Amino acid sequence: MTGKVEKPGKDIFVIILCLVFILLARPGLKAQEIEARGYEFLKKIVDRVSEANISTTIKSLQSFKTRNLLSESRTPDSGIEAARRWLIKEFQKIQGLEVVDDGYFLPKQGQRIVRDTELHNIVAIKKGKASRERIIVVNAHYDTIAVSADGRFHYEDVNTEAPGANDDASGVAALLEMARIMASLETEATVHFIAFAGEEQGLVGSTLYAQKMKKQGKNVEAVLTMDMISNIKAGNGYIDSTRVRVFSDDPNDSPSRELARYVKKVAEQVYPSFEVNLIYRADRFGRGGDHTPFVIEGYPGIRFTEARENYSIQHTPYDTIENLSVPYCADVTRVVLAATLSLACAPEPPLVTSDRGAPLLSRGQGYDAELHWKWDGDREKISGFKVYVRDTRSPFWERCYFAGKSDSFVLKNVSIDDLTFGLSVLGQNGLESLVSTYRMPPRRRAEFIFKEIK
């Protein structure tokens, strides 16, 4: 009997070739596997959000009749002071948080602060374990305002009924629920859960806090504001309970816009049944939010607001829980929680600028895109760096390359001038940092010595 005799070396050669191929392909594959692990962790935590807790907070806050900054506490259970005492107690019940009364005295000023007053932001701090301080600010406002009987604002009518269930007890309920869930978890970054006051007098509490952070040189990585996150039915009858709007300021490569993209990316993986609708605009027309004072100070900030607003209820005695959807508020809470936890557990974003503020991006040998970066964290804890590329006009990143643990990356024959580049770092725990964008350095005004010829 004759048979085909194969050379024994051939099989071994094929196996070795396969092994080499698998090993070479490994980094990209591994990064995806690691990321999947991170998303699984976030999914488990997000499942803990309780609608019952959210409902209780909204009902409790609306029971104070008004939380106007200038309201007088006529009974122990009404007015902003009573609400503040209740809220401080709620935060103090949570183990693992340091509760700070961030108080200010404000003399009578402008059109809206019609008498001398105190303003107290409530700050609950969850310490991170990173050696270099990193801060993430999640916030809502606990003060309210309502129009007077004639349907207009009279800022001296400080005791008008203003339950503010949606504006913004809904945000505070989400904040408290997030604090409860995150307090026992280990995070890298420190998280400040803040209930601001004086929002309705012109973002007063958040402005004072943002300016203080800036003055103290604090490293605030992200600011996430939740304001009106519980209404699903608009006055014109349109209903939307499946989306939340996220506002972020221009330009398209701003850190705020990048934070918004981050939220959408995380939400799509962790909570795909709910849509994050990115609005490329600082806020709604004619309206303000507590993220804006932080953006003005140079920090990345975004605002979460329901997809459909009901203008006839806002700032009236009818802004009560009966007109809201608690399940929708819980959905928004899950999205903000997933993003905040991801940011807090991810490594610090890489630095892509020189000490002089120039982007660490060059043309390499002439016509390549050569990216450099600085990152001085613990390399044992990271999986590697990720390079992102998109058209300058594109709303989202279009391509991604895994750069391993090196400090540079070259894209051959790619123009640095025609595309936008970004860089993130992926932790071994599967959670990714914010993307740092290579941006044009700010232009300075030129000064020449000259004399005009007459």
Of 148, 83, 90, 154, nearest in space to 120 by CA? 83
Percent of the chain as helix, strand, coil, to the nearest 5: 30, 25, 45
Measure CA 58 to chain center.
Answer: 22
Site for Zn ion contains 227 (CB under 5 A)? yes
Q: How far is the CB of 311 from Zn ion (least distance, A)?
A: 13
For Zn ion, the closer of residues 249 and 283 by Cβ is 283
**Which range binds Zn ion by CB under 5 A, 149-157, 227-235, 398-406, 415-423?**
227-235
Q: How far is the CB of 144 from Zn ion (least distance, A)?
A: 8
Q: How far is the CB of 228 from Zn ion (least distance, A)?
A: 6
Q: How far is the CB of 440 from Zn ion (least distance, A)?
A: 35
342 neighbors 284 (Cβ within 8 angstroms): no
For Zn ion, the closer of residues 315 and 334 by Cβ is 315
**Radius of gyration in angstroms for the set of CA atoms belonging to the chain, rounded to a whole number:** 26
For Zn ion, the closer of residues 302 and 352 by Cβ is 302
For Zn ion, the closer of residues 142 and 373 by Cβ is 142
For Zn ion, the closer of residues 167 and 177 by Cβ is 167
**Which range binds Zn ion by CB under 5 A, 12-20, 224-232, 241-249, 440-448?**
224-232
Q: d(Cα 206, Cα 199) in Å, to the nearest integer?
A: 7
Q: How far is the CB of 449 from Zn ion (least distance, A)?
A: 52
Q: How far is the CB of 46 from Zn ion (least distance, A)?
A: 24
Q: How far is the CB of 164 from Zn ion (least distance, A)?
A: 8
Residue type, 154: H
For Zn ion, the closer of residues 235 and 251 by Cβ is 235
Half-sphere exposure of 326 (CA within 13 A, CB side): 16
Q: Binding pattern to Zn ion, positions 157-176, x when CB under 5 A?
A: ----------xx--------
Q: d(Cα 96, Cα 187) in Å, to the nearest integer?
A: 12
For Zn ion, the closer of residues 205 and 359 by Cβ is 205
Of 322, 374, 329, nearest in space to 172 by CA? 329
Instruction: Please count the residues of this chain forming the interface with Zn ion, following the rule CB under 5 A.
Output: 3
How many of the other CB atoms lie within 10 Å of CB of 284? 15
What SS3 class is residue 285? coil
**CA quadruple 375, 410, 428, 21: dihedral positive or negative?**
negative
Q: Return residues touching Zn ion (CB under 5 A).
A: 167-168, 227
